[in-house]
Amino acid sequence: QVQLVESGGGLVQAGGSLRLSCAFSGRTFTTYAMGWFRQPPGKEREFVAAINWNGGNTAYTDSVKGRFTISRDNAKNTVYLQMNSLKPGDTAVYYCAARVGTIATTTGRFTSWGQGTQVTVSS
């Protein structure tokens, strides 16, 4: 089965940057589209970004466009989320997710999930 392990979260001041990583194992990485989701305190999990198997197709939620970049390194079985110009509203637990096939933007279409990594942005 697929295993996903996120890293790179932490505490950062507003305007700062973080890069999240998600290590994939257990299956053939290039079979999977990957996504990042987040769950702010007291709220539901929401879509952040997604990428197809070769990086040729990406999608972002409007609130992060121009600030966040999703990418993947198929040689390292790893997907990244570069987060720049962070805002207090970006504070959340960030989750990596995987699904076989094409890119998707809803939680229900992803079948494998990591444990999450906390991102806290102070004002």
Encoding tokens for residue 69?
């970049």
Q: How far is CA 46 from the centre of its chain?
A: 11
What is the SS3 assignment for 1? coil
- pLDDT tens, 82-113? 999 999 999 999 999 999 999 999 999 999 99
Residue 6: which pLDDT band, with cuts at 50, 70 and 90? very high
- Three-class SS state of 89: helix
| Mean pLDDT to the nearest integer, 72-81 | 98
DSSP H or E stretch at residue 35:
strand 32-39
CB 23 within 8 Å of CB 75: no
Average pLDDT of the segment spanning 55-65: 97
Neighbouring-strand partners of residue 36: 49, 96
Give the tokens for residue 20: 């999240």
pLDDT band at 117, cuts 50/70/90?
Answer: very high
